[in-house]
Amino acid sequence: MEELIPVNILIGDRTYRLKIEPKDEESVRKSIKLINDKILEFKTNFSGKDMQDYIAMVLIWLATEKNKSGADWVKLEQSAEKLQSLEDLLDKVLEK
């Protein structure tokens, strides 16, 4: 087992210090990005009293996703970003 490394993560408006294996760092950071993106999405689309409401909404969303694991969502998010980049590039080429 590799030695654990300390990382600071931000979820909502709180910082947490974790110790994780180095091989998991990228996955953890991408998962945290997905969680924070979903919090922002829920804040934009729904009313809530405080950050805890939005975190609860994200937890419910994650728990009810069928046939998808957290790793699949990270991969899906990465694919969506790559597709958006390709679409932007195509738009630039077609404008010329």
Domain extents for the chain?
A: 26-95
Alpha carbon distance 59, 80 (integer Å): 21
Cα torsion angle, 19, 53, 42, 60, sign: positive
The predicted-structure confidence for 63-91, as pLDDT tens digits, reads as follows 877 556 666 767 777 788 888 888 888 88
pLDDT at 1: 58
The predicted-structure confidence for 31-73, as pLDDT tens digits, reads as follows 899 899 999 999 999 888 899 999 999 998 888 775 566 667 6
pLDDT at 92: 82
Q: Beta-strand (E) ranges in the chain?
A: 5-11, 14-20
Entry pTM: 0.65
Closest CA to 45 of 61, 32, 24: 61
